[in-house]
Amino acid sequence: MDPVIIPREDHPISRTLISPEALQVLYRLKEAGYYAYLAGGCVRDLILGRTPKDFDVVTDAPPGRVKSLFRWARIIGRRFRLVHVCFPGGHVIEVATFRSNKPQEDNPHVVTGDDGMILRDNQFGSPEEDAIRRDFTVNALFYDIASYSIIDYANAMADLRDRVLRCIGDPDTRYREDPVRMLRAIRFAAQCGLTCELNTWQGLLRQRDQLALASSARLFEEVLKLFNSGSLEAVLQLLEESGLVDILFPSWAHWWRGDSAPLDHAWVRQAAKTLDRFRQHGRTAPPALQFALLFGSHLLHRARLAEEQGAHPVDAIHAALGGFYSETVTRVAIPKRTMLHLQHILVTQTRMLKPSEDAAERLWGRYYFQDALVFLKFANNVQGGGLSAQVAWWEEWYRAHPPPSQLINEDEEDLRPRRRRNRRGGRGAETDGAARPPRSPAPGQPAGEEAPGYEREEGEEPADDGDADEREPESGRDSDGDEDRDDDRGGR
């Protein structure tokens, strides 16, 4: 297949829009005699006038050769070998060799499960094969540093012009190969303002139950990408219309359609707007606060039901969280750290509703205090100001008692890995994999009005403007299979 070549004068991508690190990688590969293309979501975003989060490169150079060209490079991945080229400041450019699109039955390098999911795929190919094997046409564009032109094998430029999201190949087959593509379709459509092409959408509806077969840890990562998409209102609408929300959060979806009240709907809409506002300001809330804002109304509803049965308010919150976790973890593997943080945010509300110096002293310096105050202010805004007195008291107390530089995290002991014996029978060294949760924004900023500043906690998903899904679970970057490579570096 001959590609459509769009010359420099006919497209908006300028080298000034490309990161210096990506340009360095592209030029070194070119000077070594190899193809050097920007690929996938970064090209799509540049054409749409968006700022890519990551710049990913494809080439015909094998991984070993790529590694030899760069001093700070490492080969990662088992499912498909990639090279991470590292630069000062934490910048990483991912370089992948063109991948083959041979039929699975003719390709001994492709291993699939009984359900059609691709388990291993490590066959190199040509630029055309690499483009055609990607998930959606808009992710199949290349930018050639040699000619400054765009290479289009999938009629992607026409789809971008028409704002259409179209699956490459048979949608049912592509979704069965990797069910997470359905969530990617939702995210791309919402983020980029695209409309799913009819067959792409109908295939998603037919295959949506396949999403339950995906790794629950991987689905947690994808859920965070949805929450941090900057278009969460549109994402929630598409999840509802597609029925995927029933797969991810079945108990919440059932409550949403049944027992929820108009105020609960207002709560969720305002939570989505607040998280979108965070992203518009380039900020990311900790995962626990994201879950608290979005699901807080549902969790508090469950806690009220437990209180009506005679439970203590704190025990009622524990019961609500326990039920939510047990119903969700088999689908979306929420980490223990996140659940503990979420628990603290909600339990702290019982103290904040009755402010006192004693309660404040107990909360001073705790890592979750600022998040709990953000949640209290958010609840106050949604409920029409009924908690304004409590919010004012806590804000005044916070201003008079700034937190310590080292926040207190009593969860560290629970999260620390247990000692284990090595093979020689000795005592293994105890390692501390736990990270101190982040400082949250100063609570003087109104929740739901302005985006507070957050620092990302160690291991937390970075804010995602892209969508690379060619990462390996063990690679330290995210792995979706075979598509576009421009996403965060949160590993599974």
Looking at the annotation, which residues are catalytic? Answer: 54, 56, 135
- Helix then strand count (H, E) for the chain reads 20, 12
**Residue among 269, 270, 11 at smallest CA distance from 152:** 11
Helix H or strand E encompassing 248 = helix 244-248
Beta bridge pairs of residue 59: 97
Q: Is residue 165 classed as helix, strand or coil in its secondary structure?
A: strand
Q: What is the DSSP string of 362-380?
A: HHTTBTTHHHHHHHHHHHH
Residues sharing a CB contact under 8 Å with residue 391, sequence separation 6 or more, in sequence order: 373, 376, 377, 380
Contact in structure between 435 and 457 (CB atoms under 8 Å) = yes
Q: Tell me the CA distances in angstroms from 468 to 295, 324, 350, 459, one per residue in order.
A: 27, 30, 41, 18
Strands 92-97 and 56-59: parallel
| CA dist., res. 121 & res. 107, Å (int) | 9
SS3 408: strand
CA 83 vs. chain centroid, Å, equals: 22
Whole-angstrom distance, CA of residue 190 vs CA of residue 184: 10
